[in-house]
Structure 1
Amino acid sequence: MSADDAPEAAREIRNVRIEDEMEQSYIDYAMSVIVGRALPSARDGLKPVQRRILYAMHDMGVSSNAGHRKSSNIVGETMGNYHPHGDQSIYDALARMAQDFSLRYPLVDGQGNFGSVDGDPPAAMRYTEARMAPMAEEMLADIGEDTVDFVANYDDRLTEPEVLPAKVPNLLLNGASGIAVGMSTNIPPHNLREVVDATIHLIDNPECEVSDLIVGPDGEGFVKGPDFPTGANIVGRQGIYDAYTSGRGKLRVRAEMDTEERDRGGDRIVVTELPYQENKARRIERIAEDVNEGKIEGISDIRDESDRDGVRVVIDLKRGANTEVVRNKLLESHLERTFSVLSLALVDGQPRVLNLKELLSEYVEHRREVVRRRSQYRLDEAEDRAHILEGRLKALENAEAVVDLIRNSEDRDAARAGLREEFDMSEAQSEHIVRMQLGSLTSMETAEIESEYADVQATIERLEEILGDDDELMGVIKDELRAMREEYGDDRRTSIIEDTGSVTREDLIPEEDMVVVLTEDDYIKRMPIAEFDPQHRGGKGIIGVRPKEGDRVSTVFQANSHDYLMVFTSAGQVYRLKVYEIPEMSRTARGTNVVNVIDLDADEEVTAVVDVDDVEDEEGYLAMATRGGYVKRTELAAFENVHSGGIIATKLEDGDRLVDVEVTDGTQDLVVGTRKGMTIRFDETEARSMGRSARGVNGIKLDEGDEVAGLVATSEGDGLDLLTVTRNGYGKRTPLSEYRQQSRYGKGLIDIKTNERNGEAISLSAVTADDGLVLMSESGQIMRTTVDEVSRQGRNTMGVRMMSLDEGDWVAGVDVVPGGADDTDDDTDDTDDDGE
């Protein structure tokens, strides 16, 4: 074939750089995806596929009060007439518009399986049925009144709306998500009442700022934040403020959880609301995986008890598990997620990131145009009807002449011409009169026409008023918005909670005074101190722990649940611990093995606990005493970085062990007491400051078979007493001023008689009369009393009974609660002083 015979299009050959062609083709493709598929319009908030589905249903008459139609039928109509991009993408969009967990106000009323929050896909389209939801009809309302422009469909056979009239700001109500080429959008859903109120405020105050539309800390404003169909909680307001002012922001969305008590003991955590777009089944599966892998401890079972009434995921905790710690771990790992807001939408065919005011302004401008065009359409119709009615009224006034003229005319054309000439009628009027039935000339019909004419005239006046006055037109928009608020408005589902920073265990645990108990076999637990009522001295107390057979209580101390503790062991190690990390258990529980809380070696025992909050900010020293009589001081700064595996606190001789630790300020005296009742007091500077790995210096000369029982730090003028408690439950307090200062490494003075009645001294404390006491026996009895219950005595005395013990039981530990004296229980029997 010659060049002359080639088609005209083939005769033109152009040389094009391939990179230029690729660039232009890619831009064309990108814009096609951006405008034609992925991004919603800022006016009606719909993507093209969603708009076409709703318009196809409108065409088919599948309204909210009609019967459901097979989804495959709707998809076929949409694909064949408007959206030639594959049936699966259309059905996916249809199914999402029917999901009440995806859309805040669903636009499709589905019948059948349209998926679930567990990630289950919808049933095949041949099995499901659908029709428009009432809200969708509001989106299409007045579409036949020239309210929006129509464009040709893909094959020019039909026309489709460029945008829907949209009686509500759907882009904010239902949100949108989509990924285009090089850009994406992610707009969260909102509450209709709040958005309508904000829109009305913007109409009344066009110059308002974005901040005027947002509910602030003072409660002023309209939009509190996104309102997800699945509820849950938004943590903090900063992300909301960023999203509304700039169009971009990050929201922390947290599940709603409650704690319940189990019938068999222990707690359960019940999740009733999940973050938006969270796959419930997958989340439960991942929690279970973390439990199996040991990443989350304390969970015994997970069950999904959800039904049609809502979500209910039950997480049973093991007995003794710290509920707050498990709850916090779940929040950190699974039940809190970030929702990234990007308010990108099409404005005049161009993608733009919009703030809250701009989003509402685009909608208001759209509704202004819709109401203006609708009013003009209705005015034109009303004027046409008024014109016809005016012709009928003329005909009624001249009924006999009109009848004669029509009867004497050769044909309809002649009759119409005669009416126009004789009665000055228009073509439309004459046509209507010629076609009018003779029965319309009755007097009753005349009254009806006159009434209708008056109504039409009133309608014309109102429509002209709306079109001639912008305030009236905007008033119509506001009235329609208020009607939508009354019809479809509901309460918020998503709560806004204050942001207290990153979720930590401490944030979720209330401050509470606790009693911590340790046993010789390394079991540990904590209990609220409020469970133990104060008693007079000599009382027996109540059960505080039930050690296993052969085990005995070794240590007891009181601390706040948020206190930071330095835990010292017999091996000279120190560990860091928060009180709330110790499992809270009932009084009769044995406790959990201490290795679950502190990484102790097999032969280590806790012998001293120092409550030092924020050690890094403290100045001073830690004074330590060993069983063999060694004393040393180390600066607190040396203990700034105590890790979970512990660090060395002091070096020990073979067979020696650390027995007590005190915090000093560098100017105090140290009092060392022994089990046989001896004490020595010396200036703390006599034990020079040393490093952590040093052994220390001799503090007291011990008689054969004697050991150090405790250490006290005191100052002249403190007005303190030395409280000494013995193994058999006796004790006394003596003014510290009676213990004269000596040089270290002396034998000291007699403090208390340690005869057969008293037994060995086990505890020394510096106290005031206002302090409280917690005593615990080796068998697990705990008694609270007050220092002023113990009378003052001199040195070298017997003391009084402090705690009544069963045969074979002994005092295991004593802890002083500074300023913790409470009124004692008057019903508790006082006990004889036994030789006071």
Structure 2
Amino acid sequence: MGKALIPPDGGHVESINLREALEERYLAYALSTIMGRALPDARDGLKPVHRRILYGMHLLRLDPNSAFKKSAKIVGDVMGSFHPHGDQSIYDALVRLAQDFSSRYPLVDGQGNFGNIDGDGAAAYRYTEARMTEVAQMLLEGIDEDAIDFRENYSGDLKEPVVLPASIPNLLANGTSGIAVGMATSIPPHNIAELCDASLALIKNPDATAEDLVQYVQGPDLPTGGIIVDTRAQITEAYRTGKGGFRVRARWHVEDQGRGTYQIVVTEIPYQVQKSRLIEKIAELIQTRKVPLLADVRDESAEDIRVVLEPRARTVDAALLMESLFKLTELESRISLNMNVLSKGIVPKVMNLSEVLREWLEHRREVLVRRSAFRLAQIKHRLEVLEGYLVAYLNLDEVIRIIRYEDEPKQELIKTFSLTDLQAESILNMRLRSLRKLEEFEIRSEHEKLSAEMAEIEALLGSEDKQWKTVAWQIKEVRKTFGPETPLGKRRTGFADAPEHDVEDIQQSMIEREPITVVVSEKGWIRALKGHVSDYTTLTFKTDDGLKMAFHAETTDKLLVFSTGGKFYTLGADKLPGGRGHGEPIRLMVDMDNAQDIVTVFVHKPGRKLLLASTDGRGFIVPETEVIANTRKGKQVLNVDGTEEARICVEAAGDLVAIIGQNRKFLVFPAEQVPEMTRGKGVRLQRYKDGGPADVRMFSTADGLTWMDSSGRSYTRTAEELKPWIAERGQAGRLPPDKFPKTNSFGTPPLK
């Protein structure tokens, strides 16, 4: 093997560091991808493939007024002359330029099947035909007037443009996206009229920042419309940094069907979302009952989009239904902004709004200067010729004699009349029929006009201020073409604040509402039986376990669990284990300490208040909304120390508090003496020598206090009858009224 590697005589072995070789080659590949394929030029907003397609169509004279040509012809010419890559990649780029749902201002006018918003592809290029649009012509305006540089194509036998003159700010107008090596770009389309306004403001004030320009460029203007629901601050920040994103929602309205029924109609969907996939997703959510508020979805689209959503019932809140769909489907999508472009066509960098527009304006000024210089050269050439014609007219007989009789007429003309080579050549090339037109007036008139134009151009080239004024005039003309009142220039994407819907409401709307019976065992196991069960004697439990509590609820409810550690935990009723088995331990569903037990479980009612008490007789009132826990860890509300535990959680409704201790001492005091807090130990409700509170109720003076004995009989005592027991908070109390249960419990449910 070793001998085989030795080169023949005259050769030599060169050692190459593998790492350096790979770095060098990979860097070359990365640069070619960044500059030659994936990133757009900041000046004309085009990648090489798009620029070559437009230039190829220009050479084929496919102007907006010309006849269409087969896409296969265009693809073939572009591939053969400028873009030696796959024909499919060229055709895909061509198709995208023609789709009015992909490009805000299409550059290609397509005839035939160019795909649709449902995601169907275009027909093969042998079937479709294309030509340029007027917008594309504006990008090429002045290309034959030395406005831009040309470079050799890949084979060196033709020239291709380095950049297009671009009389519109195409980078932002049509947007672009691309993935290079180590960097990517994503720019959504914008409104040309707004970009023109921002550009004019930038010419007036070259120091204008992105924040200043956002008052003109409100945000993206997407081909498919929709509504952007970001705040002005978020939009401004995205344009200030050149990186960010926009939340775009579908546009919808409610159609009244009569008799109180309605349907929702979606007329615009977010940019780059395939309608067919979107409808499939919604249908799938209906089947899996993820959106119980929705009954059906239909696609009634023709030329315009019309997706019909039928609510489950007439009572369904349309806004809430749409909020749940925005969360679950692409009816709301995020459009990213990453203005990573090639500055001057060479340096890749992330630019902000003012930098991108400034780059385009500098390019427009350079194009103006170059086109003016080109026109100036043409004028000078023509003036030289006209001056020669004037000499010929004034000395016509002598000129004719020289041409007829002299052997070297050209040299003789130059010598006799002090003409230049060009003037002599022009006179000699004149047709005889032109002699009758060679009137001095016409020659002098054209000479004067051209001289005046030359003076204007020279003044323009000599004054930067005049150049910017001309660029501003050109931009104003573009704005007229794409003004807000024109069909193409009218803004399609609107702005709105996302409706303030409670996250809880939205989550609830995604749960199908069904009646359930929640069963909690003594050992803290929980399950949910379907329907509202009233007979609990048939329930089975594990050995040494029994029924602690059971209550009716619905799958959309939230359950609150209060532990002896003074913590509240939140469970979704829809997530409870089914009633076939024994359920699951609550302490496994939340992060509850093994040493702690469950005081109570109940259905959350937002407006309610709770009275909490611990084993040492301390307590306070807390609004129920303050005890909701958003995590498995729960929320500490009642603080307990050492051997103390949370014991009581009852509804706080009324102006009096009745408390009975384990020592069978009974006390009634005003509810206003108990503070309302969100967390703490609370105040002493009743004083004990030993033991603690057995039960507490709050009641109103008007209704009196009701309790129930073990036989199910209820007794009510008025506030007047309870006067002997009414005292200040924190006292020891006295033995309870007659017929009070020996269990030291009020017997009535603490939380209904």
Instruction: Return the TM-score normalized by structure 2.
Output: 0.72
Which residue in the other structure is 1:494 paired with?
Answer: 493
Q: Measured at CA, do residues 454 and 609 of structure 1 come closer, stay the same or move farther in structure 2, by a change above 3 Å?
A: same
For residue 663 of structure 1, what is the amino acid of its counterpart? A
Match of 2:115 in 1: 115
Query: Which is worse superposed, 374-383 or 479-488?
Result: 479-488
2:653 pairs, out of 660, 663, 675, with 663
Of 327, 334, 337, which residue of structure 2 is paired with 1:338? 334
| Conservation of the 8 A alpha-carbon contact between 2:708 and 2:715 | no
Residue number in structure 2 paired with 1:454? 448
The question of whether the paired residues in 2 share the 8 Å contact of 1:633 and 1:688 is answered with: no
CA distance in 1: counterparts of 2:191 and 2:687, whole angstroms:
66
Letter in 2 for 1:71: S
Per-residue CA deviations over 1:618-677 (Å, capped at 9, x if unaligned) read 7x7279xxxxxxxx9975379814799999xxxxxxxxxx9x94435xxx42599xxxxx
- SS of 2:397's equivalent in the other structure is helix
Larger displacement relative to structure 2 (248-257 or 183-192) = 248-257
Query: For the Cα contact (< 8 Å) 1:324–1:508, is it kept in 2?
Result: no
Residue 232 of structure 1 corresponds to 226
Confirm or deny that 1:356 pairs with 2:367. Answer: no
The residue that corresponds to 2:467 in the other structure is 473
Q: Secondary structure at the match of 1:262?
A: strand
Q: 1: CA distance between counterparts of 2:715 and 2:619?
A: 18
Alignment of 1:348-747 (within 5 A): 348=344, 349-410=346-407, 414-442=408-436, 445-489=439-483, 490-498=489-497, 504=503, 612-613=606-607, 621=611, 635-636=621-622, 640-641=627-628, 661-663=651-653, 668-669=655-656, 683=670, 696=695, 700=706, 745-746=736-737
How many angstroms does 1:259 deviate by?
Answer: 2.4
8 Å CA contact 2:558–2:573 kept in 1: the answer is: no
What SS does structure 1 have at the residue aligned with 2:393?
helix
Return the alpha-carbon distance in structure 2 between the equivalents of residues 469 and 508 of structure 1: 65
SS in 2 for 1:182: coil
- Distance in 2 of aligned mates of 1:458 and 1:97: 42
**SS state at 2:310 partner:** strand
Check 1:403–1:635 CA distance in 2 against 1; reply closer, same or farther (3 A cut): same
Q: Which residue of 1 aligns with 2:569?
A: none
* CA 1:263–1:709: 2 relative to 1, 3 Å: farther
Which consecutive residues of structure 2, in runs of 5 or more, have no partner in the other structure?
Answer: 1-6, 484-488, 518-547, 560-571, 581-601, 636-647, 660-666, 675-683, 698-704, 727-734, 740-752
Structure 2 equivalent of residue 130 of structure 1: 130
Q: Is the Cα–Cα contact under 8 Å of residues 707 and 716 in structure 2 kept in the other structure?
A: no
**2: distance between equivalents of 1:501 and 1:292?**
28
Q: Map 1:56-205 to 2 at 5 A.
A: 56-205=56-205
Distance 1:7 1:194 in 2: 70
1:112 deviates by 1.2
CA distance in 1 between counterparts of 2:159 and 2:504 reads: 60
Deviation at 1:109, TM superposition (A): 0.4
Change (3 A) 1:621 1:113: same
* Structure 2 SS opposite 1:249: strand
Percent of pairs with identical residues: 39
Cα gap change, 1:225 to 1:106, in 2 (>3 Å): same
Change (3 A) 1:7 1:689: farther
- Counterparts of 2:46 and 2:708, CA distance in 1: 89
Cα pair 1:97 1:106 within 8 Å, conserved: yes
Give the partner amino acid of 2:26: Y
Structure-1 separation of matches of 2:514 and 2:164: 74
Q: 1:694 to 1:342 in 2, by over 3 A?
A: farther
Offset, 1:371 = 0.8
Q: What is aligned with 1:214? A: 214
Select between 47-56 and 434-443 the one with higher mean Cα deviation.
Answer: 434-443
Matched ranges for 1:21-32 at <5 A? 21-32=21-32
Distance 1:424 1:710, change over 3 A: farther
1:288 corresponds to which residue? Answer: 283
Give SS of 2:490's match. Answer: coil
- Superposed CA offset, 1:490-513 (max 9, x none): 22111222367898365999xxxx
SS of equivalent residue, structure 2 residue 503: coil
> Residues of 1 paired with 2:515 and 2:716: CA distance?
18
Provide the residue aligned with 2:562 in structure 1: none
What is the aligned partner in structure 2 of residue 761 from structure 1?
none
Q: Could you list the runs of 5+ residues in structure 1 that have no partner in the other structure?
A: 1-5, 216-221, 510-517, 523-569, 582-593, 603-607, 624-631, 648-657, 673-679, 712-721, 723-735, 749-836
Give the whole-Å Cα distance in 2 for the aligned partners of 1:69 and 1:55.
Answer: 15
Q: Please name the residue that 2:742 is paired with.
A: none
Contact 1:610 1:661 in 2 (8 A): no
Q: CA deviation at 1:696?
A: 2.2
- The answer on 1:278 being equivalent to 2:296 is no
Do the aligned partners of residues 29 and 705 (structure 1) sit closer, same or farther apart at CA in structure 2, a change above 3 Å counting? closer
| Residue 88 (structure 1) shift | 0.3
AA in 2 matched with 1:401: E
Alignment check: 8 A CA contact 2:558 2:603 kept: no
SS in 2 for 1:636: strand
User: For residues 128-177 of structure 1, what are the alpha-carbon distances to aligned partners after superposition, in whole Å with 9 as ceiling and x for unaligned?
Assistant: 11100110011111101111111111111111111111111110101110
Question: For residues 448 and 710 of structure 1, do their structure 2 counterparts lie closer, same or farther at Cα, with a shift above 3 Å needed?
Answer: farther
What SS does structure 2 have at the residue aligned with 1:110? strand
In structure 2, the CA distance between the partners of 1:194 and 1:643, relative to structure 1 (3 Å rule), is: closer
Take 2:443 and 2:713, find their aligned partners in 1: how far apart are those partners? 118
Distance (Å, rounded) in 1 between the aligned partners of 2:17 and 2:62 = 52
Whole-angstrom CA distance in 1 between matches of 2:720 and 2:400: 133
Given the superposition, is the C-alpha separation of residues 610 and 434 from structure 1 closer, same or farther in structure 2, using an over 3 Å criterion? closer
Asked if the contact 1:633–1:689 (Cα under 8 Å) also holds between the matched residues in 2, the reply is no
State the 1:294 CA deviation: 2.1
Residues 502, 96 of structure 1: alpha-carbon distance in 2 compared, 3 angstrom cutoff: farther
In the alignment of these two chains, the number of paired residues is 614
User: How has the CA–CA distance of structure 1 residues 264 and 292 changed in structure 2, closer, same or farther, with 3 Å as cutoff?
Assistant: farther
Task: Give the Cα separation in 1 of the matches to 2:630 and 2:355.
Answer: 52
Residue 709 of structure 1 deviates from its aligned partner by 9.6
> Shift of residue 435 of structure 1?
2.0
Q: How many Å apart are 1:306 and its aligned residue? A: 1.5
The alpha-carbon deviation at position 445 of structure 1 amounts to 3.7
Structure 2 equivalent of residue 653 of structure 1: none
Aligned counterparts, 1:248-267, within 5 A: 248-263=243-258, 266-267=261-262
1: distance between equivalents of 2:738 and 2:577? 37
| Structure 2 residue matching 1:275: 3-state secondary structure | coil
Amino acid at match of 1:473: Q
**For the residues of structure 1 that align with 2:172 and 2:120, how far apart are their CA atoms?**
27
Matched position secondary structure for 1:663 = coil
Deviation at 1:34, TM superposition (A): 1.0
User: How far apart, in 1, do the equivalents of 2:687 and 2:327 lie?
Assistant: 43
CA contact (8 A) 1:687 1:696 kept: no
Distance 2:145 2:668 in 1: 101
2:320·2:501 contact (CA, 8 Å) conserved in 1? no
